[in-house]
Amino acid sequence: MSDEPLARAPAAGRPRRSPGALAAGVLIVQALTLLALWLLQSTFGGG
Amino acid sequence: MMHPVDWLIIFAYLAYIIWDGLRRTRGREDIEGYFLANRSMPWWVVGLSVMATQMSAITLVGTTGQGASDGMRFVQFYFGLPLAMLILSVTLVPFFHRAKVYTAYEFLERRFDARTRSMTSGLFLLSRGMSAGVIISAPAVILSVVLGLSFPVSVAIIGVPAVAYTMFGGVEAVQWVDVKQMVLIVGGLGALLVILLAGIPGDVGIGNALRLAGETGRLDTFDFSFDLTETYTFWSGVIGGLFLMLSYFGTDQSQVQRYLTARSLDDARSSLFMSAYWKIPLQAMVLMIGVLVFVYYLFSAPPLLFNAAHDAATRAAATTEYQALDLRYEGAFQRRRDAALDFARARDAGDDALADRSADRFLAENAALEAVRGDALGLAPRATGQNPRDVNYIIPAFVLGELPIAIPGLFIAAVLAAAMSSIAAELNSLSTATIIDFYRRRFRPVASDAHYLRASRIATGLWGLFACGVALYAVALGSLIEVVNRFGSFFYGSILGVFMLAMIPLARPTGAFIGLISGMVAVGLVDAFTDIAFLWLNVVGAVAVVTVGLLFSFILPGADGGAPTAVEAAGIQD
């Protein structure tokens, strides 16, 4: 299966992604990732 | 020894990658197509390519090994990345995209002058040209040991396919191949994670296994100490890492070229957000795989040295000492395993006092075992005269020695994928900077597209030959490469500083050029006379360039008159 037609599809007509929403998403995902790492450390960490 | 099925997987993969890359040669008739895919790529292809470029083979074998030996703390290195991506998406990326440049450095000429463009592009060619060799040689050394191949053959296995599809297919081939490479890499890592979790002994369980890793400090991710000499802390990651990532993703042609191919500004931004979303979780997964390999070797005897060839050479050269160490190692392993099992049983039985005593025993035996391994790592170079980094062989030894048929083939294919995706991006961007910033700018300003396309392919091929040559002689060139890499770290923050200046309307061309030189000198001096960890050097360089650059822009404002602002340089209409 060739993926080239996808690459050459025109940019127009696609739903526009809001940069603000993407940025907020980045911050939320990072906060959750750091929280997960912190929970890993505090739950299973030594000392 | 690898099973024929594993070899079949590796060769099938290599054949597919070469075929997939070369079939995109069709339709390449101009350099905009060759270098920028006619600015037609969707965000997810660019985003995966950005991630594949950054994830080298050493990430797969070295970082997982670091997870096994040192734990999760290295992930802090990436804490500045998401913020860097957010900043770039509203600063440099719109300017590059609207200016319709081929290279990041081309934008600097429009904003400042040809001096600054040539200097930054030249520094990029110097450092990246040498590092392209290292990107091939580092995994080639490891592959030659674990697969039993000669070193030149390993270099060829990595270098030839990457050079071929980059040279003929251009950036579009590089990025579509990157997509497949990235799927293979993430798939391989995911498979490894599942196998490791499933392989934890039933009478221990995942919870107790993680507690054992945690007892040794391997799950300690965060270090909030503000120690400028400590390499990986929360603050060096967030602040120093922010400057490093701004420089890498915002000014390094090997990354900038990825998102210059995006079909819209929206796609370029979204491609960077993909890394912002996934880089830290992915890196945490890579390190966690290492931690779980450490857990695996709590219950299954690890070799004294993970580099099998070095292990055998050491045994042959210093038999008596080696056997004595091996005996101590075996004893320490048995006692550590017993303590670990006692710890798990005590916790399951709810006997906290016994669990605490078992944990103390476990830590003492773990320290004893690591001391023996430290002695072996000291003996090996004395006995053999060679000193390979054993930590890079932990994961290959585990995968090839402990996992069933097909998984080693998949893993080696993933390592090759990671190596090739990084080298292809380097070659593609080296060729672009050579042709656009030097050949077309200084030597042949007017020629047909067919001529530039031919020159671009030749440049890619020559950079490929150069990279393979550096790789072959990397050991002999060791000190030279180190000097160049060290030199490279001096100007990373400084180049970022020039681009920061470009965003400031008051900055003038001469001020920017003097600032760039001053930044590199400042970093050199700080590095020579202090113990500051390298991540902070990026901050020093960028701040020095901006400060000195603005100062000289005030002192010599009339020297170069009305330089265009960044908005004018990018040709943005209000």
A7 — contact with chain B (CB < 8 Å)?
yes
The answer to whether the CB of B490 falls within 8 A of the CB of B527 is: yes
The answer to whether the CB of B343 falls within 8 A of the CB of B298 is: no
Strand partners, B41: B262
Min mean pLDDT across B181-195, B236-250, B263-277, B466-480 is at B466-480
Nearest by CB to B222, which of A3, A29, A38?
Answer: A38
Q: How many CA atoms lie within 13 A of B5 on its CB side?
A: 7
Task: Return d(Cα B395, Cα B392) in angstroms, integer.
Answer: 7
Task: Return d(Cα B17, Cα B320) in angstroms, integer.
Answer: 48
What 3-state DSSP class applies to B572? coil
Virtual torsion, Cα B233, B237, B240, B243, nearest 10 deg: 180
A21 — contact with chain B (CB < 8 Å)?
no
What chain A residue is nearest to B282 in terms of C-alpha separation?
A: A33
Task: Specify the pLDDT at position B409.
Answer: 92
Tokens of B251: 């000014």
Q: What is the mean pLDDT of residues B317-345?
A: 95
| Phi, psi angle pair for B263, to nearest 5° | -80, -10
Q: What is the mean pLDDT of residues B326-342?
A: 96
A26 — contact with chain B (CB < 8 Å)?
yes
Task: Specify the pLDDT at position B255.
Answer: 93
Task: Return d(Cα B117, Cα B103) in angstroms, integer.
Answer: 10
Q: Is the pLDDT of residue B67 over 70?
A: yes
Task: Specify the pLDDT at position A12.
Answer: 44
Task: Specify the pLDDT at position B389.
Answer: 80
- Write out chain B residues lying below 8 Å of A15, CB-based: none
Tell me if B220 and A27 make a contact (CB, 8 A cut-off).
Answer: no
Nearest to B262 by CA among B253, B251, B271: B271
Tell me if B89 and A19 make a contact (CB, 8 A cut-off).
Answer: yes
Cut 0.90: pTM above it: no
Give per-residue pLDDT as tens, B424-433. 999 999 999 9
User: What is the overall mean pLDDT for chain B?
Assistant: 90
Dihedral sign (CA B475, B476, B477, B479): positive
Nearest by CB to A6, which of B42, B85, B267?
Answer: B42
Nearest to B242 by CA among B390, B76, B427: B76
Tokens of B179: 């997509």
Q: What is the mean pLDDT of residues B30-57?
A: 91
Please state the length of chain A.
Answer: 47
Q: Which long-range contacts (CB under 8 A, 24 or more apart) does B519-527 make?
A: B519/B491, B519/B493, B519/B494, B519/B544, B519/B545, B519/B548, B520/B490, B520/B491, B520/B494, B523/B489, B523/B490, B523/B491, B523/B493, B523/B494, B524/B490, B527/B486, B527/B489, B527/B490
Min mean pLDDT across B19-23, B79-83, B502-506, B555-559 is at B555-559
Strand partners, B262: B41
ipTM: 0.82
What chain B residue is nearest to A15 in terms of C-alpha separation?
A: B266
Task: Specify the pLDDT at position B28.
Answer: 67
Determine what percent of chain B is predicted with pLDDT higher than 90. Answer: 67
Nearest to B190 by CA among B481, B439, B411: B411
Task: Return d(Cα B84, Cα B76) in angstroms, integer.
Answer: 14
Q: Is the pLDDT of residue B148 over 90?
A: no
Nearest to B379 by CA among B448, B306, B458, B322: B322
Give per-residue pLDDT as tens, B268-295. 999 999 999 999 999 999 999 999 999 9
Task: Specify the pLDDT at position B485.
Answer: 61
Q: What is the mean pLDDT of residues B293-318?
A: 93
Virtual torsion, Cα B340, B343, B347, B348, nearest 10 deg: 60
Residues of chain A with pLDDT under 50: 1-13
Give per-residue pLDDT as tens, B431-460. 999 999 999 999 999 999 899 999 999 999
Q: What is the mean pLDDT of residues B506-532?
A: 92
Give per-residue pLDDT as tens, B365-400. 999 999 999 999 999 989 888 877 888 889 989 998
Amino acid occupying residue B546: V
Burial degree of B458 (CB within 10 A; 0-12, 13-18, 19+)? middle
DSSP states along B359-401: HHHHHHHHHHHHHHHHHHHHHHHHHHS----GGGGHHHHHHHH
Interface of B with A (CB under 8 A): 24, 37, 40-42, 45, 72, 75, 79, 82, 85-86, 89-90, 172, 176, 179, 207, 210-211, 213-217, 219-222, 263-264, 266-267, 269-270, 273, 276-277, 280-281, 284, 359, 363
